Amino acid sequence: MMDFLPLAAPALPLDEAGKYVAGAYIVFLVLIVVYVSIMAAKLQRIERELRELAGFAENRANGEEASAEREEVSA
């Protein structure tokens, strides 16, 4: 194993090392961006559901009000 894994490997020239360093940092940034995008989508879904729920609650409150008025009139 040590034959092809020298401990004192010579430093790669900048043009060759640069792509590896850039690759590592880009992978990190991509992971963060993907994660934050997933979280943003999740928060948008929560916001949409909350709006739907608010609409549902309003409709129900209006319906109850209308039925109470009908009951009053019939009485």
Partner 1 sequence: MYGKGLRPLSIATVVAIAAAFSLVFFYAPLDADQGFIQKIFYLHVPLAITALIGFVVGGVFAILHLRSGDRRWDAYSYVSIHMSVIFGVAVLITGGIWAKASWGHWWVWDEPTLVSFLIVFLMYATYYPFRYAIEDPERQARYASVFAVTAGAFVPLNFMAVRMAESLVHPRTFATANGGLPGEMMFTFLGCLTAIALLWVTLVKLELTAKSASGQLKRLRRALDAPAPGAGSRIAPEVS
Q: φ, ψ for residue 3 (rounded to 5)?
A: -65, -40
Number of residues that make up the chain = 75
Which of 13, 75 has the CB closer to partner 1? 13
CA distance 60 to 63: 5
Nearest C-alpha neighbor of 33 from the set 70, 69, 41, 72: 41
Exactly one of 37, 52, 65, 67 binds partner 1 (CB under 8 A); that residue is: 52
- The first and second tokens of residue 26, run together, are 């880009």
Q: Contact between 1 and partner 1 (CB under 8 A)?
A: yes
Q: How far is the CB of 1 from partner 1 (least distance, A)?
A: 6
Interface ranges with partner 1 (CB under 8 A): 1-2, 4-5, 7-9, 11-14, 16-18, 20-21, 23-25, 27-28, 31-32, 35-36, 39, 42-43, 45-46, 49-50, 52-53, 56-57, 60
